[in-house]
Amino acid sequence: MHTSAMIDAHPGEIGLDRDLLAHAVDALVACAQACTACADACLSEDMVADLRRCVRTDLDCADVCDTTARVLSRHTAYDASVTRAVLGACVQVCRACGDECASHAEMHEHCKVCAQACRACEEACVALLDSIG
């Protein structure tokens, strides 16, 4: 990914730890992709009705992660309160999605992979959130 290079190339002040920021953006993008793919895979399962909640949670998580990655990629007129809010929402939705996918992980490998991506994203967002002054 080009995340670190783009952060380093930004001419303005970035009010966040650059390494934690790059790690979080990469984790957010990866989580959004995993959640989108997991939702699609759930829809292909024979017992799709049993996975409705998982599909919904996957899609919510993908949307929040995608939005959070975009917000974190903009640094002009940085507002720490907005960053805290989106990161907090992302932590919450990643936790919920990770829990939901983990509950299906023994039966569906895609849910296992998605739960791992959600946990990694949650950790990266918590680390970045904790670093904000």
Question: pLDDT tens-digit profile of 87-132?
Answer: 999 999 999 999 999 999 999 999 999 999 999 999 999 999 999 9
Do the domain assignments include residue 8?
Answer: no
Q: How many domains does the chain have?
A: 1
Q: Indicate if the pLDDT at residue 83 is higher than 80.
A: yes
Dihedral-angle region of residue 10 (phi above 0 means left; psi in -120 to 50 means alpha; beta otherwise): beta
Do the domain assignments include residue 104?
Answer: yes
CATH number, residue 48: 1.20.1270.360
Do the domain assignments include residue 11?
Answer: no
Do the domain assignments include residue 1?
Answer: no
pLDDT tier for residue 1 given thresholds of 50, 70 and 90: low
Do the domain assignments include residue 64?
Answer: yes
Do the domain assignments include residue 10?
Answer: no
Domain of 63, in residue numbers: 17-131
What is the C-alpha separation between 123 and 25, in angstroms, rounded? 12
Q: 126 phi and psi, to 5 degrees?
A: -65, -45
For 16-62, the pLDDT digits (tens) are 999 999 999 999 999 999 999 999 999 999 999 999 999 999 999 99
Query: What local confidence, expressed as pLDDT, does residue 76 receive?
Result: 86
What is the C-alpha separation between 50 and 63, in angstroms, rounded? 22
Do the domain assignments include residue 27?
Answer: yes
Rounded to two decimals, the pTM is 0.95
Do the domain assignments include residue 3?
Answer: no
Q: Indicate if the pLDDT at residue 13 is higher than 90.
A: no
